[in-house]
Structure 1
């Protein structure tokens, strides 16, 4: 078995065990992709006094930027990572499979965060229907994800290389900027989508040059 395959560390085949091994092999605990940009941005967007659900929050490395002044719950399928989050941050944690109905009542949260999660979902529409259900009217849906098919990806393919995202076996969605905007608009009002990687060209021509973006959307108030 390929040593990069998360299942090479375990004989278990549950999704939770798969991701627990994936996080260990990929050294994803104790660090967060583009944290220096995403953390302060999420903190500013969220503010304080909010009921926040961080879906896919793992060990709370990104969560720690917005935990102060808020009541935060981490929902993840990696029980080991969530234990670390509880110990470090004192947050609530709930084991969640994002391919199923979320185990929360309607309108339970003011803010739902999904940082670097959408690209891992086999059925994003199913998940976003659930996100909208448990989000309070007027609530915020925030997150980030890497994009695909920008010019760097196209150049890599031209040279016979894989798309960068395809090198991670847990990446299932390969979205362009326009794909993300369309998906979000199906369920929410899009407030803004901010390029985090790709330079000035990404701001002017996001569909061609944006490589990583953060998004801010809102559920209708009525």
Structure 2
């Protein structure tokens, strides 16, 4: 199964994968129903989760019901337990919206929820993160998760995220990060899919962020709180929710 999923991820364009996933997800959820693991986003349980990864496949990574990954479930728990995201009136911008969140966030009556992306078939607004079509200080909350590693001019993208966020607003900008690296590794002369996969771990990535990622956000103007939220979660729930220890949530404000 891991080989099949790896082949699918590396050969089928992401917009097509998104459309197809809506069709196959209910069938997979029924087939894998059980009691071993639980997706905290919808509360459904399964005998196992699906493998995921463009390179090395991670076991029990992808929830069969929401198609959430470890990072999505961690973010959900943080928003639910540590913020008023689900109760207070908020104007929200979600760049490259993940399908595990999309319908749930749209249903929330307290949210004025807008999604944007240049290519995603499920986004409301077609927009370039480096040139967002919104006025400055427009949104109480901005999400842009696992996007910046795809963007060559991430400095410009960060400045746009800062521009559209309201003063005292909340921004969460997750990225794949190698905390063993002091400095981000990037080389824009690397253009081919195979070489990018070799150097950056995925065919459409242009860098591997190191520990200096938080400094990059601060240079864009953000106040950054580096939160290892996994430390607050019991070992039992870490295993049941299929989370990863040590992932840092970059919780930003303006």
TM-score w.r.t. the length of structure 1 is 0.64
What's 1:76 paired with? 117
Query: Pick from 104, 108, 123: which aligns with 2:138?
Result: 108
What's 2:251 paired with? 216
What's 2:218 paired with? 185
Decide whether the 8 Å contact of 1:189 with 1:218 is kept in 2: yes
Q: Which runs of 5+ in 1 are unaligned?
A: 10-17, 83-92, 152-161, 201-209
User: What are the Cα deviations for residues 142-190 of structure 1, in whole angstroms up to 9, with x where unaligned?
Assistant: 1322212539xxxxxxxxxx999833112222112x2121112112111
What's 2:101 paired with? 62
Shift of 1:129: 0.8
CA–CA distance in structure 2, aligned partners of residues 94 and 214 of structure 1: 26
TM-align CA RMSD: 3.8
What's 1:39 paired with? 76
Equivalent residues, number: 177
Structure 1 residue matching 2:77: 3-state secondary structure: helix
Q: Which runs of 5+ in 2 are unaligned?
A: 1-6, 22-51, 54-61, 182-195, 235-244
Decide whether the 8 Å contact of 1:108 with 1:134 is kept in 2: yes
CA–CA distance in structure 1, aligned partners of residues 68 and 126 of structure 2: 20
What's 2:167 paired with? 137
Decide whether the 8 Å contact of 2:197 with 2:204 is kept in 1: no
Shift of the 106–94 alpha-carbon distance from structure 1 to 2, 3 Å rule, reads same
Given the alignment of the two structures, is residue 166 of structure 1 paired with residue 200 of structure 2, yes or no?
yes
Decide whether the 8 Å contact of 2:96 with 2:120 is kept in 1: no
Decide whether the 8 Å contact of 1:165 with 1:171 is kept in 2: no
After the TM superposition, which of the residue ranges 186-195 and 24-33 deviates more from structure 2?
24-33
Instruction: Point out the structure with the larger helix share.
Output: 1
Shift of 1:137: 1.4
Structure 2 residue matching 1:103: 3-state secondary structure: coil
CA–CA distance in structure 2, aligned partners of residues 120 and 110 of structure 1: 25
CA–CA distance in structure 2, aligned partners of residues 5 and 38 of structure 1: 23
